[in-house]
């Protein structure tokens, strides 16, 4: 059976290097986009790749391995921090 691969399965060569804000907004509304953190939404993960907002009208796919490593580490730290805050709030109730 032929099925269309999910957006998380798309290899880099099948994705554009630049996407319009309108295109990214559609993916965001379809819940296919994950922001770097709840407050850092100018860098997002879509289709397994990191994207940066360039101004107001374009998203650029990150290709620099150092930048990608930084985004991955920041996402982990952000998730850990959010989890710690949520646990503190539960204890205070």
**What pLDDT was estimated at residue 7?**
54
Confirm whether 31 is domain-assigned: yes
Do the domain assignments include residue 73? yes
| Bridge partners (DSSP) listed for residue 71 | none
Task: Write down the pLDDT at residue 73.
Answer: 95
Q: Which domain holds residue 58?
A: 7-92
> What is the model's pLDDT at position 23?
95
What is the count of structural domains for the chain? 1
- HEC string for 33-46: EEECCCCCCCEEEE
CA separation for the pair 5, 54 (Å, rounded): 27
Mean pLDDT, the chain, integer:
86
Q: Tens digits of per-residue pLDDT, 24-55?
A: 999 999 999 999 988 888 999 999 999 999 98
User: What is the DSSP secondary-structure string of 6-58?
Assistant: PGGG--GGGS-SEEEHHHHHHHHHTT-EEESSSS--SEEEETTEEEEEETTTE
- Which pTM does this prediction carry? 0.77
């Amino acid at each position: 059976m032929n099925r269309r691969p999910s957006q998380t399965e798309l290899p880099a060569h099948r994705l554009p290097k630049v996407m319009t804000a309108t295109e990214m907004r559609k993916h965001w509304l379809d819940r296919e986009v994950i922001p770097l953190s709840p407050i850092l939404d100018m860098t997002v993960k879509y289709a397994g790749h990191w994207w940066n907002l360039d101004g107001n009208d374009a998203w650029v796919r990150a290709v620099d391995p150092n930048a990608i490593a930084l985004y991955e580490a920041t996402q982990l730290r952000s998730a850990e921090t959010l989890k710690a805050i949520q646990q503190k709030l539960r204890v205070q109730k």
